[in-house]
């Protein structure tokens, strides 16, 4: 009980933005982190790029302008949840530095924690559950990050996990970072 009380004292709404290439483990980590936060009775919402594209952002493609709009909308949805005192865990490729800065400016720099999954394209290809890299290699998917579109690695993420990182340990490290800041 004392641990939960202490966690709630340290609790503050924020956006934990997980970025990395397709199949780097963003959604898996985001789901695990949301479970971890919920165990500490911290109100949490998972904002996933695939889910938004299936609904509110279904009118957008994958051009640079459409990606920018997708992330802008996601940031405003996150901001609405922050206003209701949620911790939002965002799982987005968000390949360009400029777009991540726009997200940060919308929610406010003090409300933004950036997590970068620095996973090699070879590992992403091996993990690829949807076969997207193979389709992109064959030219069936245009504007695919890492193949025909650049991914600009974050310069100063709050936390970085690379290679075959352990999702459970990463979630605990993110939680510790969050509660300590």
Q: What is the 3-state secondary structure (H, E, C) of 76-94?
A: HHHHHHHHCCCEEEEECCC
> What's the rounded Cα separation, in Å, for the pair 77 and 80?
5
Respond yes or no: is residue 148 known to be catalytic. no
Which DSSP letter does residue 72 get? Answer: H
> What's the rounded Cα separation, in Å, for the pair 124 and 20?
10
Q: Which of 22, 24, 91, 94 is catalytic?
A: 94
In 3D, which of 82, 61, 96 has the Cα closest to residue 16?
82
For residue 73, the cross-strand partners are none
Inter-residue contact 73 to 56 (CB < 8 Å):
yes
CA geometry: angle at 34 spanning 126 and 175, to 5°?
A: 95
> What's the rounded Cα separation, in Å, for the pair 14 and 51?
20
> What's the rounded Cα separation, in Å, for the pair 173 and 160?
10
Catalytic residues: 94
């Amino acid at each position: 009980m004392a641990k939960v009380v202490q966690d709630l004292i340290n609790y503050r709404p924020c956006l934990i933005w997980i970025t990395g290439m397709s199949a780097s483990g963003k959604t898996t980590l985001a789901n695990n982190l949301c479970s971890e936060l919920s165990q500490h009775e911290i109100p949490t919402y998972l904002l996933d790029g695939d889910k938004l594209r299936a609904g509110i952002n279904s009118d957008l493609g994958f051009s640079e302008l459409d990606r920018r709009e997708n992330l802008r909308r996601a940031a405003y949805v996150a901001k609405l949840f922050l206003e209701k005192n949620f911790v939002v865990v965002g799982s987005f490729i968000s390949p360009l530095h400029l777009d991540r800065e726009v997200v940060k400016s919308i929610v406010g720099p003090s409300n933004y924690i950036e997590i970068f999954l620095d996973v090699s394209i070879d590992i992403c290809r091996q993990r690829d559950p949807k076969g997207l890299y193979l389709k992109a290699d064959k030219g069936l998917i245009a504007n695919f990050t890492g193949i025909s579109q650049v991914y600009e690695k974050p310069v100063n993420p709050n936390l970085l996990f690379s290679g075959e990182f352990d999702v459970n340990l990463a979630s605990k490290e993110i939680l510790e970072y969050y509660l300590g800041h």
